[in-house]
Amino acid sequence: MQLTREELLEAYRTMKKIREFETRVNAEAQAGRVPGSTHLYSGQEAVAVGVCMALEDSDYIVSTHRGHGHSIAKGCDVAGMIAEILGKETGTCHGKGGSMHIADFDVGMLGANGIVGGGPPLACGAALSAKTLKSGAVSVAFSGDGAFNQGTTAESLNLAMVWKLPVIFVIEDNGWGEATSAEFAVAGNIIERAKGYGMRAEKVDGLSVSDVYESMRQAVEYARAGNGPTLLHITTERFFGHFNGDVDTYRSDAHKADQRKNRDCLVRFRQTLISGELLSAGELDEADSAIVTEIDVAVVAARAAKEPDPSTLTTDVYVDYE
């Protein structure tokens, strides 16, 4: 399906927003202003954006520890996100969650997750709500190649088939789970493993946002029509180390340079847009600078925001906690 100019520009904007956001988070972290650690999404933008472009606000996503990109693509407010990461009361979770627990129920973002494999069962549950309440919504479980091995993921694939749930399993295969390669850790083949459950499954080039979008669009259509789940095995690139403190010596410098040079989904998309005369360099530059400004404003505001008041330590444990 052909994307309009506006849709392409929006996709570019969101990818750029994620990239810029992560660049600034990394800078804040290096300056010692991020209290915890963060897992940067840079390099994988085409996945989050291609996936979420195919979704409505009323659809659900369940994210991972590497959740900034998913959150932004699903429509979370970046000002709240950066404030959350800096541990401020203006943060998305009022400072209680931090980078790994960003959630925004208004846009169907059901939460990042610090537990590898924690998300797929929850995504099945959201899909069950959609099915039971006949809302027509679909639900997406983002998982990494590492998370794909967790028993919870395997169980969820089975449950989704048994209950015929409108859920899409998006496996973002960046080749690594922390410092362990997928080549070592993932036996066999992700697509074959999904097909073993009788599940519709497709391999997708995660460097192409339009490929991701198109595969996702079909999966959503399939799910909304009541046909059940799909698994998308999307190959992608993790530019940084596993977390902001990881020096990443297990990958050669040559590998990392090559990644940035030849396998950058944002650069590729920009080139495609320009060479295909879909958008001009000027238009894209303009988008870029608007985003840089937006993120900068957000960062400055987050720095200035107050830390949560210690009296809030014991609130929101229970609905009726005193």
Interatomic CA distance for residues 90 and 95, integer angstroms: 7
Q: Which residues bind a second copy (CB under 8 A)?
A: 149-155, 157-158, 161-162, 184-189, 192-199
- Using CB under 6 A as the binding rule, whether residue 174 contacts ligand TPP is answered as yes
Size of the site for ligand TPP (CB under 6 A): 17
Residues 6 or more apart from 24 whose CB is under 8 A from it?
Answer: 82, 295, 296, 299
Binding mask 115-144 for Mg ion (x = CB under 5 A): -----------------------------x
**Least gap, CB of 22 to another protein (angstroms):** 19
- The first and second tokens of residue 80, run together, are 């709240």
Interatomic CA distance for residues 45 and 144, integer angstroms: 14
Q: Name the packing angle between helices 5-30 and 45-53 (round to 10°).
A: 140
Q: Which of residues 220-279 bind another protein (CB under 8 A)?
A: 248-252, 254-255
- Using CB under 5 A as the binding rule, whether residue 174 contacts Mg ion is answered as yes
Degrees (nearest 5) of the Cα angle 53, 59, 64? 80
Distance from the first to the final alpha carbon of the chain? 54
Q: Which of 23, 29, 61 is nearest to 42 (CA)?
A: 23
**Least gap, CB of 241 to ligand TPP (angstroms):** 10
Interatomic CA distance for residues 175 and 236, integer angstroms: 8
Beta-bridge mates of residue 141? 62, 169
Interatomic CA distance for residues 319 and 9, integer angstroms: 42
- Which of 28, 104, 173, 264 touches another protein (CB under 8 A)? 104
Question: Of these partners, another protein, a second copy, Mg ion, none, which one is at the site of residue 192 (CB under 5 to 8 Å by kind)?
Answer: a second copy
Residues 6 or more apart from 214 whose CB is under 8 A from it?
Answer: 1
Q: Segment near another protein (CB under 8 A), from 12-20, 46-54, 151-159, 211-219?
A: 151-159
- Using CB under 5 A as the binding rule, whether residue 67 contacts Mg ion is answered as no
- Which of 10, 77, 178, 214 touches another protein (CB under 8 A)? 178
- Complex with Mg ion: residue 46 or 79, whichever CB lies closer: 46
Q: Which of 92, 98, 93, 147 is nearest to 123 (CA)?
A: 147
Question: Of these partners, a second copy, another protein, Mg ion, none, which one is at the site of residue 262 (CB under 5 to 8 Å by kind)?
Answer: none
- Complex with ligand TPP: residue 115 or 290, whichever CB lies closer: 115
Q: Segment near another protein (CB under 8 A), from 13-21, 121-129, 200-208, 296-304?
A: 121-129
Contact 13, 229 (CB under 8 A): no
Question: Of these partners, another protein, Mg ion, a second copy, none, which one is at the site of residue 174 (CB under 5 to 8 Å by kind)?
Answer: Mg ion
Residues in contact with Mg ion by the rule CB under 5 A: 144-146, 174, 176-177
